[in-house]
Amino acid sequence: MHRHKRRREIAQLLQALIDKHPHEIVYVAWDNASTHEDDEIEAVVRGAAGRLVLLYLPTYSPWLNPSEMLWRTFRRDVTHCELFESINAVIAATLDFFQRCNAQPAQVLSIIGSNAA
């Protein structure tokens, strides 16, 4: 049941993108998640009549998703080989990591491979 709800939400998101850009072609990078396979989603794509183009990513392609580099850094700096005493300790370590990220946006851009500053 939960999976079906996610598929409906994805279909609604795609429809909202088409509605927001009624005269343009909308390109969406699309991974191979099982929630992306659904009749509702297919209906939105067909209904867009060529104005919604799904760009399928290879099965495993973290290099095409810059946020994966940030998550890799998070795992290395925060959770790798760590045994936290409580969920609150995990939350505190996570908040600390992202506060450091917010304080150093240039470093985050460097981690994700962006040249923007």
Rounded CA-CA distance 61/64 in Å is 6
Q: Render pLDDT for 86-108 as a digit per residue (tens, 0 to 9).
A: 999 999 999 999 999 999 999 99
Same domain, 8 and 51: yes
Same domain, 83 and 47: no
Same domain, 53 and 76: no
In a domain, 43, yes or no: yes
In a domain, 44, yes or no: yes
Q: How confident is the model at residue 112 (pLDDT cuts 50, 70, 90)?
A: confident
In a domain, 117, yes or no: no
State if pTM tops 0.75: no
71: containing domain: 66-111
In a domain, 71, yes or no: yes
What pLDDT score does 67 carry? 81
In a domain, 116, yes or no: no
Burial 82-100 (b: 16+ CB within 10 A, else e): eeeeeeeeeeeeeeebeee
Percentage, residues of the chain above pLDDT 90: 47
